[in-house]
Structure formats: C-alpha cells, structure tokens
Amino acid sequence: MKKTKLFPKLKRKMPWYIIPILLTVQGAISIILLFIVFYVINKEIIFWSIQVSWITVVIASAIEIGRQERLRKKAESEIENQLKEKQVLLKEVYHRVKNNMQVIVSMLRIQKNFVKDKKAREFLTASKDRIQSMALVHEKLYRAEDLAHIDFSDYVKSLSEQLFRTYVINPDKIKLNTDIKFALLDINSAIPCGLIINELVSNALKYAFPDDMKGEINISLHTDEENNHVLTVSDNGIGFPGKIDFRNTKTFGLQLVNILVDQLHSTVELDREGGTSIKITFTKKD
C-alpha cells in the first residue's frame, strides 16, 4: 500500500510577497505580546518596545523584498538572454536553409544549360522557380524581427519580380496588380501560398497572353466576414481551357496547387469569365 506523506514537498516556489507578510504577522503578534507583558510594568517600555518591533519588521521586510527583487531581475535577465540566443540560432537556420536552396537553384540553372530538349528545359525552369519561392520565404524570415511571420506584401512583390525576370516579361506589356489587405502571414501559410502564387502566375505569364497580347495579373489577399484568409490570383487573358478539370488534371503544376490547397485545408473556386480567376479560402492561423 502506498504511503501518503503528511507534509508533501511544494512543487512551486513561494511568491515573493509571502515572507514579508509572515514577518508582518510575526511582528504584530510580538507587539501584542509585548503590550500584554509590559502593560502593568511601564508604559514607556511598551512604547519603545512597539517602536523597536515595527522597525525590526520593516527592516526585515525591506531586506527580503530587495532580495526577491534581485532574484526576479536575475531570472528575467537569464530568460531574455536565452531568448536572444534562440532567436540567433533560428535566424541562422533560416539563413542556412535559404543558402542550401540557392545552391540547388544554381545547380538547376547550370543543368539547364546542358539540356537541349525544350520540355526538359521548361521543367528545370519551373523547378528552379518553385525552390526560389521557398528560399525567398526563408530569406524574408532571416531579415525580419518577427521569426514566425513574414511581410506578405513585400514577399509577393519580390516573388513576382523574380517570375517576370525568369520569363523575360515586359512590365509595359503585362501589368501586375497586388492588393494585400494585411501585412503579416505566418510561415505555415506563407510557404504554400507562395508556391500557389508561383504556379498560377507562371501559368498566366506563359499561356494567358499569347501573340504579344497585353493584359493584367491580379493578386489579392484579404480576410472575409468569417475571418478566413482569401487568396485570389486572376488575369484577363484568354481564359482557362474549358476541357481541363482544375481539380483533376495531369499537369504537374496544377497537381501541386491542388496538393497545397489540401495542405491549407482550404476551398478553391475557379471562375473562367473574363479570363481566369482562382480563389482559395483557408483558415486564419494565429
């Protein structure tokens, strides 16, 4: 049979104010006892006894409070130093991940120069863009003060500039419009959203505006009435082919988009009217 201890050990440290309270109670009790003992002897003795007792209590309480305050400041300083060390380490992780991805991008770029098949070259270019979109997230996190969120408006701008350079698009021919209603997006949502934007904008740049056709690509991110995030990528090009089922396609890029949509536990809507508009709604994360 298991024995029960009469006086189990306290699992938590006592609050700093317990000891001053105990000292005050002890002082009050001693004052009462002194009053009872010396009341019939000498009133002057009672007076000075009370004064000495209160002074003793005040000094002892002040010393204990000062000691507890020093311990609290020391603990806070240690926690702050540990937090700074972890932030430095996390930034270094982001930086190394970004550098490793850039190495892969460089390898794909070099490999592309040795490939003559057009389809293979396009595949290598698309793979390079996808890795760059993820590397860009880690680069933004490395440079940010908030290590869990990125400035999504700035990220979309940098990502679109990369894509325009990749496909040698004249900004006067195809205009990019962005409408990001809030600044910060958590990393768990930012990477899938970045990859989705990469795929949809790449497809628009390659297929939506044939024969030097001019047009616009729009990227928006806002919060709906139910506090969900809504990401929309649209263009006013020739439109999404009617014979292709967006949710059941054999193309790698659109399959990847569907995988990412499922990863975000989101819903997707395709509108073919006036071009192509794809709206993805996913739950907001704190």
Total domain count, the chain: 2
Q: Which domain, by its residues, includes 183?
A: 149-283
Q: Tell me the backbone φ, ψ of residue 31, rounded to 5 degrees.
A: -65, -45
- Is residue 155 domain-shared with residue 258, that is, in the same domain? yes
Distances (CA, A) of 183 to 113, 149, 160: 38, 9, 17
136 within 8 A of 129, measured Cβ to Cβ: no
Boundary-marking domain end, from 44, 77, 110: 77
Residue 112 within a domain: no
pLDDT at 6: 42
Higher-confidence position of 224 and 50:
224
pLDDT at 280: 92
Characterize 208-236 residue by residue with b for buried, 16 or more Cβ atoms within 10 angstroms of its Cβ, and e for exposed. bbeeeeeebbbbbbeeeeeeebbbbbbbb
Boundary-marking domain end, from 35, 53, 77: 77
- Is residue 155 domain-shared with residue 59, that is, in the same domain? no
What mean pLDDT, rounded, does the chain reach? 79
- Is residue 190 domain-shared with residue 275, that is, in the same domain? yes
Sign of CA dihedral 42, 45, 51, 52: negative
- Is residue 38 domain-shared with residue 155, that is, in the same domain? no
178 within 8 A of 215, measured Cβ to Cβ: no
* 0.75 exceeded by pTM: no
pLDDT at 188: 85
3-state secondary structure of 117: coil
Residue 165 within a domain: yes
- Tokens representing 50 are 């009370």
Confidence label for 235 from pLDDT (cuts 50, 70 and 90): very high
Task: Give the residue carrying structure tokens 């325009």.
Answer: 164
Average pLDDT of span 263-271: 89
Q: Tell me the backbone φ, ψ of residue 273, rounded to 5 degrees.
A: -80, 125
pLDDT at 233: 94
Residue 130 within a domain: no
* Dist CA 197 CA 123 (whole Å): 17
Residue 248 within a domain: yes
- Is residue 167 domain-shared with residue 274, that is, in the same domain? yes
Q: In this structure, what CATH number is given to the domain that contains residue 227?
A: 3.30.565.10
- Tokens representing 147 are 């290590």
Boundary-marking domain end, from 33, 49, 77: 77
- Is residue 53 domain-shared with residue 164, that is, in the same domain? no
- Is residue 64 domain-shared with residue 155, that is, in the same domain? no
Residue 127 within a domain: no
* Dist CA 67 CA 12 (whole Å): 18
- Is residue 50 domain-shared with residue 165, that is, in the same domain? no
Which amino acid would we find at residue 267? T
* Dist CA 270 CA 232 (whole Å): 10
Q: What is the 3-state secondary structure (H, E, C) of 195-259?
A: HHHHHHHHHHHHHHCCCCCCEEEEEEEEECCCCEEEEEEEECCCCCCCCCCCCCCCCHHHHHHHH
pLDDT at 118: 86
Residue 261 within a domain: yes
On the question of pLDDT at 3 being above 60, the answer is: no
- Is residue 154 domain-shared with residue 72, that is, in the same domain? no
- Is residue 159 domain-shared with residue 70, that is, in the same domain? no
On the question of pLDDT at 57 being above 50, the answer is: yes
Residue 115 within a domain: no
279 within 8 A of 246, measured Cβ to Cβ: no
Residue 236 within a domain: yes
- Tokens representing 105 are 């991008």
- Is residue 279 domain-shared with residue 153, that is, in the same domain? yes
